Amino acid sequence: MSPNSTAVRREVRNVVFVDGVRTPFGKAGDKGIYAGTRADDLIVKCIRDLLRRNPSLPPERIDDVAIAATTQTGDQGLTIGRTAALLAGLPRTVPGFAIDRMCAGAMTAVTTTASGIAFGAYDVVIAGGVEHMGNHPMGAGTDPNPRFMSEKLVDPAALNMGNTAENLHDRFPAITKDRTDAYAAASQEKLAAAYESGQIQPDLVPVASRKPGAGWRLNTVDEPPRPGTTVEDLAGLRTPFRSHGRVTAGNAAGLNDGATAALLASSDTAAELGLPVKMRLVAYAFAGVEPEVMGIGPVPATEKALRQAGLSIDDIGLFEINEAFAVQVLSFLDHFGIADDDARVNRYGGAIAVGHPLASSGVRLMTQLARQFEEDPSVRHGMTTMCIGLGMGATVIWENPHHPDYSGNVPEDAV
């Protein structure tokens, strides 16, 4: 180091979740609400709404924009974090980038930029994700390396997520179709109750869409939910991934379109700018598993994150688990000894009911957890977790600022 240089002593800073929003989720395809709508326009709506909801944040203070998409072509390509920032009207001095970790794209956008905040490279960021599965069907246009097949690196069936869910049923025979159908019906019921009590609507960004011959409509609610679904309704659905299988369209998330975005900051910057603090980041972890049973990924990711945080599973008072498949959630619950109907799990329902637009879903989990923290100050720690295609899992642990023992109230160098 030059004798004239001044060493900068870096300290890890607290990272807080300031706010999160999402579009209503739609059904993918020609009949869905976003048929004919561009993916990048969906994420732009979210970015603009974050700024509208947080007027004390000068746009030029945003240090980066990280946006995830699983299919990064067409209207989800061209470094979508940067293009979305420009389209949203952010100053041209605000950079942006794109991320892909399949289903955990938005979650990775959050953890990646949060690490930059903790290190001191950023003060405020926007992180989120978008997936228009109508414009970009899952796997369309991909070209897997032939070595995957010739060298048998993975079972070919692992490239189809439904097959991996059937494999998980094989591994855990105690998770029967009856159990998954019961869990799925409960997810629909919980989401309907959350809508009825107004717990979902506050974080939805209205999106206008237009269809040829049908004119304009304003979308203010999610399209996929089927309130009133019963176990009997689900029992007769076909099993498309295996003859006499257990995975159906009723106990799995659908193909969906939607976008999410979150505002993150260091705790001192949030205080400086008068921004709200909805959660504090405690720990996060990613883990790899056999691609053939990718749904088990949240288990090792959670174990890893708990070790980092110095917590046990009993310390987690709220769980937001992405419901790619009911069997995936139940395998997680069984591993940790949690009942199927535990009141801590997915209080507003989950992706089986509301939808799973791949790379966007991680921030939906966070937004819902943040609102539950506000409703229940008795809970100190919560978790957002999800499985990821090709055999991975992701878990983020958060602290509730409304809890009387919230550690974010002490000086950062003492945490």
Residue positions annotated with a catalytic role: 103, 356, 387
Return the SS3 of 74. helix
For residues 345 and 302, the answer to whether their CB atoms sit within 8 Å is: no
Residue 192, both tokens = 């309907």
User: What is the separation of C-alpha 411 from the centre of its chain, rounded to a whole number of angstroms?
Assistant: 30
For residues 298 and 38, the answer to whether their CB atoms sit within 8 Å is: no
Residues 6+ away with beta carbon under 8 Å from 249: 237, 240
Return the SS3 of 369. helix
Q: What CA–CA distance (Å, rounded) separates 20 from 203?
A: 7
Q: What CA–CA distance (Å, rounded) separates 177 from 195?
A: 27
Q: What is the residue type of 353?
A: A
Residue 12, both tokens = 């890890």
Angle at 111 between CA 164 and CA 368, to 5 degrees: 75
Residue 355, both tokens = 């939808």
